[in-house]
Amino acid sequence: MSEALSVAGQWDGQFTYPRDYEPEFFQAALFEAESVIGGTITERAHASTEDSACFVALVSGTRQGRHVQFRKTYQTDRRNHTVLYEGMLNEAGDEIEGTWIIMGSWQGAFLMVRRKRDAVSNTVKVSAQIDGDI
C-alpha cells in the first residue's frame, strides 16, 4: 500500500445539502489498516438549525485503490442516523471528493482536504513541550 494512498490522518471537510441550505463543515481523524478505514468525524451544526450543537460520529469503511467509501454513524440522540459516503482520493492523496446519502432521504456532495502533515506534527511537538513545562 502506498502511503500517498492511505487516508490515515487529519482532514477538514465540507458537505452540501440539497436545496438552498448552507454547507456544513467537519473535521475527521482517520486511520487505515489494510484498506480498512476507521475514525471519528466532529461537526458543528448551523446556529439557525440546532443552536450550534457539536456532533461526533464514528467512521467505518474501506479504501480500494483511490475509491473510498465509509459510513458515518452519529453518537447522539439529536442525530441518530447513518450517512453513507463514497468518493475518490486524488492522485496526491490529499483530497477526497464524492457524494453522501441518507438512504430514502437526503443526498449531497462532500469534499475532504488532508491537513498538512507538518502542521499536525508541529502541533504535537508544541503540545508535548507545553505539557513538559507544567
Q: Which CATH architecture has domain 3-133?
A: Beta Barrel (2.40)
Is the pLDDT at 35 greater than 80? The verdict is yes
What is the distance between the terminal CA atoms of the chain, rounded to a whole angstrom?
Answer: 40
Q: How confident is the model at residue 118 (pLDDT cuts 50, 70, 90)?
A: low
CA–CA gap between residue 79 and residue 73 (Å, rounded): 9
Higher-pLDDT residue of 116, 87: 87
- This prediction has a pTM of 0.78
Do 61 and 46 form a contact (C-beta atoms < 8 A)? no
**pLDDT one-digit tens code per residue, 63-108:** 999 999 999 999 877 777 899 999 999 999 999 999 999 988 889 9
What element of type H or E holds 42?
strand 36-44
Statement: residue 123 has pLDDT above 50? no
Q: Residue 87: what pLDDT?
A: 98
Domain-wise residue ranges, the chain: 3-133
